[in-house]
Structure 1
Amino acid sequence: MSKRLVALGDSFTEGVGDDDPRAANGVRGWADRVAAQLAAEVPDFRYANLAIRGRLLGQVLDEQLEPALAMTPDLVTLYAGGNDLMRPKVDIDALLGRYAEAVATLRATGATVVLFTGVDGVEDPLFRKMRGRTAIYNELVRGIAASHGALLVDMWPMRQLRDRRMWSADRLHLNSAGHTEVAIEVLRVLDAPHSLSPVDLAPVPATDPRSRRSEDLRWAREHALPWIKRRVRGESSGDTVTPKRPEPLPVVDGLA
């Protein structure tokens, strides 16, 4: 079993949405959960997480790929491109061309590489509009995984992630329950034992249209407008953020 994990990516891998004051950067996330489970089975297990919120795919590769290679990991997770898909214009083919090159570089080291497809946002009015872009992105990622012998965590058919209760208040990032679901799927793909349990959610309660509109307006005011303003100013939520685990370190007391 792998002894050194390095996680690359953006807010999804950093763990944004899964607030935990005990964790580095104040967030935990699926990658920390996976690392804790692997560390429980593997002596001298080490884990680094270079992911930073707000990063575009090119930035992830430019900033994180070489440092990751220098750590000589035998297990690498890579997810990037979600922020690119949210931009007004994106060349998905060019984007995934760079992605494929990075995966080939990582696989050439002999490391196991884990890739991810995007979540199906069909249940959300905003992300439903991105569904076509995400589907194209996913098909290209599936092809890259198959071509280079990478493992794939396919989040598109994970229906539980369509439930808004799996997401934080900003609707952009998974909450603790959502990150746990992803961690369970990653460990399943790795064929690794674990003690994680999915959250048992009750049936979705009915919401009247007036309450739904009120929730949507509050979300737009508190989350969507600040995001738009940052884009206009050329700012990113990760401008002042550094990697939560820049070096491969042991997992202590089950907390990465």
Structure 2
Amino acid sequence: MVGDSGRRRYVALGDSFTEGVGDPHPGLPNGVRGWADRVAEKLAKNQKGWEYANLAVRSKRLRQIIDDQLEPAIALEPTLVTLYAGGNDILDVGTDMDRLLEEYSGLVGRLAETEATLVLFTGYDIKVNPLLEPLRRRNWQYNARVRELAREHGAVLVDYWCFDEYNDKRMWDSDRLHMSTAGHKFLARQVLAHLGVPTSFKEIDWEPLAPRSTLEWVNAQRQWMNDWVVPLIGRKLRGVTLGDSLGPRWPYPVKVPKKGGLRRYALEHPEVLEGHGPSFPRPGK
């Protein structure tokens, strides 16, 4: 089991997936919580002394994660590292997949050199819209390389691609690209299980989804386009992202309280919310 001996320090790297977008919480940095916070809290409840840093920032591309997060993460001397990076690149027109996978491989190699327990993720096969079907082939390429690297480096592989639970629309936020709170909770449980850490998360017990009429479906599609797709395209044309004004949520290791978790820590250390919080836009790429 991870953290059985010595110092215990968990460092998370990545983009919105790891930052926690889709799981809102106004009392935490950047106004979100997410699966990584939940993992850190469960680790602290299970074993004393866990520290946690989360360097992930929404919208970041792989090159930015390498430039901004890799060396700081190594300097923190982690004993546990989680990495998901490259998803935003896959959604970008003109991405060179050979170069992307080469840079991703180098990033994984550097993190493996720390000898920390390394956790990697495949990308989920999000069926958002037929217009995005060409991007699925990129996702397949990415996932195949992630699986190879996990074998090569002895990393823990969380094969997100294979989780049928995410076929339920309620596991996704309103933008249809980020997990909802339920999705983050489920992923936290999966990560902990892969690490051999006992969990006590409640199983989701949902009522069956009511069928929608054609008119309801059309209206939902229109609202999604207006609320998410059009603004996303506009930001891409302007060359801006929702992560431009944000920094990492937990840039330095904090000792996670066994009782109350990171929410208690934020209440006792309000300075961690300076420059963060609910004033920033919530989900988005």
TM-score when scaled to structure 1?
0.96
Instruction: Spell out the pairing of 1:231-250 with structure 2 (5 A cutoff).
Output: 231-250=236-255
| Native 8 Å contact 1:121 1:128 kept in 2 | no
CA RMSD of aligned residues (A): 1.4
Deviation at 1:206, TM superposition (A): 1.1
Establish whether residue 229 from structure 1 lines up as the match of residue 220 from structure 2: no
Deviation at 1:72, TM superposition (A): 0.1
Instruction: Spell out the pairing of 1:6-25 with structure 2 (5 A cutoff).
Output: 6-25=11-30
Over residues 181-231 of structure 1, what are the superposed CA-to-partner deviations in whole Å (9 max), with x where a residue is unaligned?
Answer: 111110111111121123222223211222111101011111111111000
Match in the other structure for 1:97: 102
Q: Which amino acid aligns with 1:30?
A: W
Q: Which amino acid aligns with 1:193?
A: P
Deviation at 1:7, TM superposition (A): 0.1
Among 28, 35, 42, which residue is 1:37 paired with? Answer: 42
Instruction: Spell out the pairing of 1:76-95 with structure 2 (5 A cutoff).
Output: 76-95=81-100
Aligned length: 256
Match in the other structure for 2:262: 255
Cα pair distance change 1:196/1:235, threshold 3 Å: same
Deviates more, 1:194-203 or 1:171-180: 194-203
Among 118, 125, 128, which residue is 2:123 paired with? Answer: 118
Looking at structure 1, the residues matched to 203 and 177 of structure 2 have their Cα atoms a distance apart, in angstroms, of 20
Deviates more, 1:201-210 or 1:244-253: 201-210
Establish whether residue 178 from structure 1 lines up as the match of residue 183 from structure 2: yes
Please list every run of 5 or more consecutive structure 1 residues that lacks an aligned counterpart in the other structure.
none
Deviation at 1:122, TM superposition (A): 3.4
Deviates more, 1:46-55 or 1:180-189: 180-189
SS of equivalent to 1:247 = strand
Deviates more, 1:171-180 or 1:246-255: 246-255
Over residues 5-55 of structure 1, what are the superposed CA-to-partner deviations in whole Å (9 max), with x where a residue is unaligned?
Answer: 000000000000100112211100000000000011121110000000000
Establish whether residue 150 from structure 1 lines up as the match of residue 155 from structure 2: yes
Deviation at 1:129, TM superposition (A): 4.3
TM-score when scaled to structure 2?
0.86
SS of equivalent to 2:162 = coil
SS of equivalent to 2:46 = coil
Over residues 109-162 of structure 1, what are the superposed CA-to-partner deviations in whole Å (9 max), with x where a residue is unaligned?
Answer: 211110000112236545544222211111111111111111111011101112
Instruction: Spell out the pairing of 1:209-228 with structure 2 (5 A cutoff).
Output: 209-228=214-233
Identity of aligned residues (%): 46
Deviates more, 1:196-205 or 1:1-10: 196-205
Looking at structure 2, the residues matched to 124 and 164 of structure 1 have their Cα atoms a distance apart, in angstroms, of 14
Establish whether residue 203 from structure 1 lines up as the match of residue 208 from structure 2: yes
Please list every run of 5 or more consecutive structure 2 residues that lacks an aligned counterpart in the other structure.
264-285
| Native 8 Å contact 2:15 2:61 kept in 1 | yes
Among 58, 68, 81, which residue is 1:63 paired with? Answer: 68
| Native 8 Å contact 1:120 1:162 kept in 2 | no
| Native 8 Å contact 2:24 2:31 kept in 1 | yes
Match in the other structure for 2:279: none
Match in the other structure for 1:137: 142
Q: Which amino acid aligns with 1:246?
A: P
Q: Which amino acid aligns with 1:239?
A: D
Looking at structure 1, the residues matched to 117 and 256 of structure 2 have their Cα atoms a distance apart, in angstroms, of 20
